[in-house]
Amino acid sequence: MRLRQIEDFLAVAESGGIRAAARKRGVSQPAITKSVRRLETDLGAQLVQRTPHGVLLTSSGRAFFERVRVAYAELRRAEDEVAQGAPSVGSVEFGVGPVAGALIVPEAVAAFRKQFPDVHVRILEGLKQLGPLVREGTLDFAVGARHHVKSDSALAFRPLFIHQLVVAARKGHPLRNARSLKDLASAEWVNLVPPASAQSPLERTMAAAGMPLPGRAIQCESYHVLVALLTRTDMLGILTARLLGKTLAGDALEAIPVAERLPAYTTYLITRVGIPLNRPAAVMAKMVLQAARRLAKAA
């Protein structure tokens, strides 16, 4: 196998077609086709199957893709480390949950830029896919909640800070003087949908209070849409106290001080076990840790 064949195959698998892969690689379609066929010959297995709607990976292709994607990501990191003498060379790719992204990423990135002004930085925001992307090497590390990541012996979790959940509503909400979750049961809620394996913040809150999920609750899979709905309607939602106090949401939203103690959750730094970060990624992770410590002390 040659590196170019691996790169051509990854382009086909990730783009879902020969034409798109050729554009991505800057070569002709016949060149991509020839490269992938040679790779299949070298491996003695069919990796891709053409269909009227594009290219699909065979079972052998899917297995090969999962392995080679991790290996290729490590190769890129190795190249970066060898070339670290040049300040413009290298990259950092990490993922964050929406709350951590709003609270600590700006400070961490600003501090990082003082040491690495030219290193490429990519930040991915998400709730569901961060753990697998760290495990496979697509991301250097991630910052998020552990209940968003399935148990995985390949991942290490370092606690950063604790989030206390609160009932959030727009300022001046008609129910702002309510003092119990029972007083809010008939309101319309926004339920932020988490991964299938975890309860949503609203579900955790109601379960802890011994109450059913409100009947008038719309499902939402975007944190930013959730905040927009809360600021511009009379819907209620569950946010973190830190988010209300430290971001723009605090200008438009306030917590309704119910008597019940709402659940809390911990934000973690998620890395791969036994695989060190390259220097820029290690520095970025350090800046994240420092920003998280300052946030925790300010509580």
H-state helical runs in 49-184:
59-82, 98-103, 105-115, 130-135
Radius of gyration from C-alpha coordinates of the chain:
23
- This prediction has a pTM of 0.70
CA-closest candidate to residue 148, choices 167, 163, 166, 169: 163
Burial 231-261 (b: 16+ CB within 10 A, else e): beeebbbbbbbbbbebbebbebbbbbebeee
Mean pLDDT of 254-259: 94
Q: pLDDT, tens digit, for every residue of 179-216?
A: 999 999 889 999 988 655 567 889 999 999 999 988 88
The yes-or-no verdict on residue 91 having pLDDT over 90 is no
pLDDT at 98: 81
Of 249 and 70, more confident: 70
Highest mean pLDDT among 54-58, 249-253, 255-259: 255-259
Res 184: pLDDT? 94
- Band of the pLDDT at 279, cuts 50, 70, 90? confident
If we measure between CA atoms, which residue out of 171, 128, 126, 177 comes closest to residue 148?
Answer: 128
As a residue count, the chain comes to 299
Q: What is the pLDDT of residue 72?
A: 79
**Domains along the chain with CATH numbers:** 3-82 (1.10.10.10), 91-160+272-298 (3.40.190.10), 162-265 (3.40.190.10)
Helix or strand (DSSP H, E) at 145: strand 141-145
For 113, what's the count of Cα atoms within 13 Å in the CB-facing half-sphere?
A: 8
Residue range 100-132, pLDDT digits in tens: 888 899 999 999 999 999 899 999 987 667 888
Average pLDDT taken over every residue of the chain: 86
Confidence (pLDDT) at 73: 76
pLDDT at residue 246 in the model:
62
